[in-house]
Amino acid sequence: MGNPCYECPLPVAIPPEKPFLESVKLGIKETLFPDDPFRQFKNQPASRKFILGMQYFVPILEWAPRYTFELFKADLIAGITIASLAVPQGISYASLASLPPIIGLYSSFVPPLVYAMLGSSKDLAVGTVAVASLLISSMLGKEVNPNENAKLYVQLAFTATFFSGVFQAALGFLRLGFIVDFLSHATIVGFMGGAATVVCLQQLKGILGLVRFSHGTDLVSVMRSVFSQTHQWRWESGVLGCCFLFFLVLTRYVIGNLKKGLNPVSVSELAFGSPYLGTAIKTGIITGVIALAEGVAVGRSFAMFKNYHIDGNKEMIAFGMMNIAGSCTSCYLTTGPFSRTAVNFNAGCKTAGSNIVMAAAVMVTLLFLTPLFHYVPVVVLSSIIIAAMLGLIDYEAAIGLWKVDKCDFVVCMSAYIGVVFGSVETGLIIAVTISLLRMLLSVARPRTFLLGNIPNSMIFRSIDQYPVANNVPGVLILQIDTPIYFANANYLRERISRWIYEEEEKLKSTGGSSLQYVILDLSAVGSTDTSGISMLEEVKKNIDRRGLKLVLANPRSEVIKKLGKSKFQNHLGKKWIYLTVGEAVAACNFNLRASKSNNQVADELDAHNNV
Amino acid sequence: MGNPCYECPLPVAIPPEKPFLESVKLGIKETLFPDDPFRQFKNQPASRKFILGMQYFVPILEWAPRYTFELFKADLIAGITIASLAVPQGISYASLASLPPIIGLYSSFVPPLVYAMLGSSKDLAVGTVAVASLLISSMLGKEVNPNENAKLYVQLAFTATFFSGVFQAALGFLRLGFIVDFLSHATIVGFMGGAATVVCLQQLKGILGLVRFSHGTDLVSVMRSVFSQTHQWRWESGVLGCCFLFFLVLTRYVIGNLKKGLNPVSVSELAFGSPYLGTAIKTGIITGVIALAEGVAVGRSFAMFKNYHIDGNKEMIAFGMMNIAGSCTSCYLTTGPFSRTAVNFNAGCKTAGSNIVMAAAVMVTLLFLTPLFHYVPVVVLSSIIIAAMLGLIDYEAAIGLWKVDKCDFVVCMSAYIGVVFGSVETGLIIAVTISLLRMLLSVARPRTFLLGNIPNSMIFRSIDQYPVANNVPGVLILQIDTPIYFANANYLRERISRWIYEEEEKLKSTGGSSLQYVILDLSAVGSTDTSGISMLEEVKKNIDRRGLKLVLANPRSEVIKKLGKSKFQNHLGKKWIYLTVGEAVAACNFNLRASKSNNQVADELDAHNNV
């Protein structure tokens, strides 16, 4: 109990040197395989390894042999429930993507089958999503008019879906799933809200029964479009929209013909030779990332409810494969939509089998029931979309952001405003840029804290946070808050020299005992680079020149290793590096007392001599 | 002395809430004015403030009144010394920039005068630099051939210089000087070495006396250029170059006519209406940043030798003004070159007055001596450049980087290889990108450490670094290494759950006492955002579900504030947040003992009842 005395402090350990290749291997493992996905393969015979491997890459092989009638009953009910949601949603979202409605139905058939085989979530229901649909329409629509050149537009949508799939699968294979993490919670809240607002605005076309409409998605062009043709507003349609489904049968504006039959093969439709290939690739990558972010987040959330684990990178491969397969069978971009997954979960699904049931139900619809949808009015589709979208505008989350973190709120609002007044990409790019800049700024401008001693303890804490903490006379204790890198080394050097200057000025004005030691608490400095080491050397020179002494406390393994290699440790002297701030202060105090008593001896000698 | 007992721990303080505007103000001050440049203005009368303000913005007003004859003598010697360097260097670097040699001389006249008035360094000698000259020639030369369209090329060089100046001054005024910090030490070492190599390769033209030469700067095109015309190598020139200045008078290849007279005004030459304006702006910004990085770094280094302070932002304004003035008086880009400043320092300069002396000496040269330079052979210029460049290839620094930090070495080498095999911009962009990615990666993939108790103390340290540290039975102590942000929140959640899983597996296999508590040491988590708070909430849910208890140790002010606002603190319970890991462990141990003795009592009761 209690810290060891400062005369016999525990030395700061330099961790044992690892061979270069081993440390590179460990670094790669921690960076790319943080969840250690192959831990179950260890110490297994080869045959078992093969089976585990197959089950790892095709999870249906794991759960299908254990599938029971009980599980099937639960999945059947859940599957039929989500199929009943999938059909109107599929048609609505396809029209949002300016695609023929039947493609929305096709997209609820093949991709869920692929996901059921490869996906690791038990709750995720596969389908198209509104935001990605809107993005496709706004990005491809800029290049090709879906009304005038419908065939090319559909081909480009398939091509974009293909590249989404390739990109998603590649991210998964390369274990680069963390790219999705750069869409922060705040960005997604703002972006979804903005996209939902834009989607709702787009529905004014259907609700008001307008024929011509803006191709832009921003508030200004939609409003101009709406109010420039007030004489064309169809009031019967508006009333119908406001009363939603009540007057379903009274109207005659229908969605058009739906062909009977299953998905046609569309490999030949992939427009790799088109002059718009670049646009298709760009659309594919952007929509792919957004769809991935939603799907992975949804899968993770529900996995957490039921306490099982999802491998994000494996999910990405499943999403990628499902979209590649989809693009070859007349489907457009699919992912795991929140609404459909929530319904699936509430309906009591047990395995990915519910996706197979849904696919079967959609197949039956495609084979026999499509003519019935001939008479669904456009205004009903608009109403369905608006109802789904309103749930995405999560103003409570935005209020929470404001309360907890003003900067996150700014990110969220800029995503919202960017989407509503600019375009979907603008909002996204602004929000991601602000988030990254904020993170870079926090690294480039780390905070330094003045530490004080908490009374009756050997604990040292920031005086800002703990006003009870006391200064130690003659000693300035500073804590650095982040890793020291090239981006903040200059700043820290200037800030530390300002701390010293200010402390000396203060002591001068109050007449306190003069400054003798500067202790840098490096507990929070997880790593550093050569610029950081040079910075410490310059700080040492500067402190030496002022006649003070630099003392380091608790350098971490990365830092002490580099200090040792750069010879800084020898310049400083090992005895000036301590394990804790407490020990460093005790050593300083001991030296201060020693020099004081020496001075006293000298004074007494002087006095003696003068006598 | 010793830690307080765990029954009466000091509570973790939430720092007093600051008004929103005040905290924004403080944040801006710490970000943009870390050195508090206006501290001397505090508590001064208005007239004194005005004088201080003038002296702040025009430092010559501060030192000129105190200028003595002693100082002048020192500056005179230093000034004449650097002028003797400035003339051949100016001519050489101008030819490197594909500009008429006389412009190199002009550039050593006006800019030093401007710097002497506005600059805050006492040692910096102003002049043109090789790397920026090469960049100008390679970037502008791509658009306009300096031989075929010399007038336009010169105009574009002036325009680029103008924009460099505007950009540099703007950075200073907006206090955005930290942008320069993103050029890390490793980047600069590699970049300078690469540029020096390229410059030396370019001199093969002069050394071998070739007439036609590659416009590319990369190794491949230069080598192809050299070896495709072996029959045109002028051996006499080669021998001359190899023996440097020995055969100076034997050769007849001269630099051409130099006009007598001072700098002509060139405001009308600024080509704002040119179709190449974009190129000029791009060249200006890139060369401006590089020149700035060199100038500021050089100024800082020598200020540190003499122990005075340089304000980086003020220096930028001075550089900017000097280049704006230069671009209007037939000068091209200038900064504070390392070589010339080192000579100035060694010659004993005392103030920026040595720049005025140098300018005066160059003026005399321009007025009377230029005809003498008529007979300086090209090969001599090439030799001068090569001699200066060889010093910039700092292979020892590169070896040092390899020893201390492998990643910095990779940055350095990629800058070098990028410059030598690609182009100057390519090298720069690659190196900055790798540096930034490395920094982002360190934030996106923070390290987590398992802590153990150092024997006979209340200190807890990483078991990796201190193998003597012991596990606490039933308690898992994890330390998180960096601020928790959106970019690492998902990773940390997965990594923490893997730590728990692995610890439980280990305990199961060794038959140790089962895990009861997970302590997260947040000492190194300087700040967080809403994603970080959600992550902690999810970790808590996950830990609860496994029947364990989450305990937090030492949350810092930013973190505890946000925990409080987000209600997470209430979910967790204040009694599970401790000031130190030691206290948290003591509390866990107390509860473990309490529950064990309860179990014992229960066992005894059972035994009793059974009897």
**Superfamily of the domain at A445-610:** STAS domain (3.30.750.24)
Most confident of A63-72, A390-399, B208-217, B343-352: A63-72
What residues of A are in contact with residue B307 (Cβ under 8 Å)?
542, 545
Q: What is the 3-state secondary structure (H, E, C) of B346-407?
A: HCCCCCCHHHHHHHHHHHHHHHHHHHHHHHCEHHHHHHHHHHHHHCCCCHHHHHHHHHHCHH
Write down the pLDDT at residue A283: 92
| Range in A219-233, A483-497, B102-116, B493-507 with the lowest mean pLDDT | A219-233
In sequence order, the β-bridge partners of residue B551 are: B519
Q: Which of B185, B491, B527 sits opposite A442 (nearest CB)?
A: B527
Residue-averaged pLDDT of chain B: 82
Contact: A467, B13; criterion CB under 8 Å: yes
Helices (H), B459-556: 486-510, 530-545
Contact: A458, B541; criterion CB under 8 Å: no
Write down the pLDDT at residue A27: 78
Asked if the model's pLDDT at residue B1 lies above 60, the reply is: no
What residues of A are in contact with residue B567 (Cβ under 8 Å)?
none
Average pLDDT for residues B277-288, to the nearest whole number?
Answer: 91
What residues of B are in contact with residue A439 (Cβ under 8 Å)?
440, 443, 485, 487
Q: Between A4 and B26, whose confidence is greater?
A: B26
Write down the pLDDT at residue B167: 94
Write down the pLDDT at residue A340: 83
pLDDT band at A600; cut points 50, 70, 90: low
Residue-averaged pLDDT of chain A: 82
Neighbours of B61 (CB within 10 A): 13
**Percent residues over pLDDT 90 in chain A:** 21
Write down the pLDDT at residue A248: 37
A526 contacts B447 by C-beta, under 8 angstroms: yes
**Percent residues over pLDDT 70 in chain B:** 85
Write down the pLDDT at residue A251: 38
Helices (H), B97-109: 101-106
Asked if the model's pLDDT at residue A249 lies above 70, the reply is: no
Write down the pLDDT at residue B328: 93
CATH architecture of B446-610: 2-Layer Sandwich (3.30)
Average pLDDT for residues B373-383, to the nearest whole number?
Answer: 66
Write down the pLDDT at residue A167: 93
In sequence order, the β-bridge partners of residue B461 are: B452
Asked if the model's pLDDT at residue B223 lies above 90, the reply is: no
Average pLDDT for residues B261-276, to the nearest whole number?
Answer: 81
Contact: B557, A464; criterion CB under 8 Å: yes
Average pLDDT for residues B48-70, to the nearest whole number?
Answer: 86
Asked if the model's pLDDT at residue A252 lies above 60, the reply is: no
Asked if the model's pLDDT at residue A585 lies above 60, the reply is: yes
| Range in A250-264, A377-391, B26-40, B248-262 with the lowest mean pLDDT | B248-262
* Structure token pair of residue B270: 């600024």
* Per-residue DSSP letter, B280: H
Write down the pLDDT at residue A520: 94
Strand A460-462 with A448-453, pairing: antiparallel
pLDDT band at B258; cut points 50, 70, 90: low
Q: Name the residue ranges covered by the structural domains of chain A.
A: 68-267+276-440, 445-610
Residues in chain A: 611
pLDDT band at A553; cut points 50, 70, 90: very high
In angstroms, rounded to a whole number, what is the distance separating the alpha carbons of residues A318 and A307? 21
Q: Between A590 and B520, whose confidence is greater?
A: B520
pLDDT band at A531; cut points 50, 70, 90: confident
Write down the pLDDT at residue A360: 92
| Range in A525-534, B38-47, B282-291 with the lowest mean pLDDT | B38-47
Q: Between B204 and B100, whose confidence is greater?
A: B100
Interface test with B, best of A442, A496, A540, A589 (most B CBs within 10 A): A442
Write down the pLDDT at residue B28: 79
In angstroms, rounded to a whole number, what is the distance separating the alpha carbons of residues B590 and B602? 18
Q: Which of B2, B447, B454 sits opposite A526 (nearest CB)?
A: B447
Asked if the model's pLDDT at residue B513 lies above 60, the reply is: yes
Q: Which of A30, A405, A440 sits opposite B529 (nearest CB)?
A: A405
Q: Which long-range contacts (CB under 8 A, 24 or more apart) does A461-469 make?
A: A461/B579, A462/B556, A462/B557, A464/B15, A464/B557, A465/B13, A465/B15, A465/B556, A465/B557, A465/B560, A466/B13, A467/B13, A467/B16, A468/B13
In sequence order, the β-bridge partners of residue A552 are: A520, A577
Asked if the model's pLDDT at residue A4 lies above 80, the reply is: no
Most confident of A316-325, A552-561, B555-564: A316-325
Write down the pLDDT at residue A113: 94
Q: Between A508 and A160, whose confidence is greater?
A: A160
A295 contacts A172 by C-beta, under 8 angstroms: no
Neighbours of B376 (CB within 10 A): 21
Q: Which of B304, B439, B488 sits opposite A538 (nearest CB)?
A: B304
Write down the pLDDT at residue B3: 42
What residues of B are in contact with residue A404 (Cβ under 8 Å)?
530, 533, 562, 565-566
Q: Between A229 and B588, whose confidence is greater?
A: B588
Average pLDDT for residues A14-22, to the nearest whole number?
Answer: 75
Asked if the model's pLDDT at residue B462 lies above 80, the reply is: yes
Write down the pLDDT at residue B251: 38
What residues of A are in contact with residue B490 (Cβ under 8 Å)?
178, 181, 300, 312
pLDDT digit string (tens) for A80-101?
888 887 888 888 888 888 898 8
Average pLDDT for residues B281-294, to the nearest whole number?
Answer: 89
Contact: B185, A541; criterion CB under 8 Å: no
Q: Which of A183, A466, A494 sits opposite B13 (nearest CB)?
A: A466
Contact: B178, A491; criterion CB under 8 Å: yes
Contact: B405, A530; criterion CB under 8 Å: yes
| Range in A544-558, B254-268, B350-364 with the lowest mean pLDDT | B254-268
Average pLDDT for residues A422-446, to the nearest whole number?
Answer: 83
pLDDT digit string (tens) for B385-429?
676 667 667 788 888 888 888 888 999 999 899 888 887 778 878
| Range in A554-558, B273-277, B308-312, B343-347 with the lowest mean pLDDT | B308-312
Average pLDDT for residues B309-322, to the nearest whole number?
Answer: 87
Write down the pLDDT at residue B135: 85
What residues of B are in contact with residue A34 (Cβ under 8 Å)?
445, 491, 494-495, 498
Task: Decide: residue B265, CB within 10 A, 0-12 exposed, 13-18 middle, 19+ buried.
Answer: exposed
Nearest-CA distance from A277 to chain B in Å? Answer: 27
* Structure token pair of residue A609: 């001599």
- DSSP assignment of B556-606 equals -HHHHHHHHHTTHHHHH-GGGEESSHHHHHHHHHHHHHHHHHHHHHHHHHH
pLDDT digit string (tens) for B131-179?
888 889 888 988 888 888 989 999 999 999 999 999 999 998 888 777 7
HSE-up of B601 (CA within 13 Å, CB side)?
A: 6
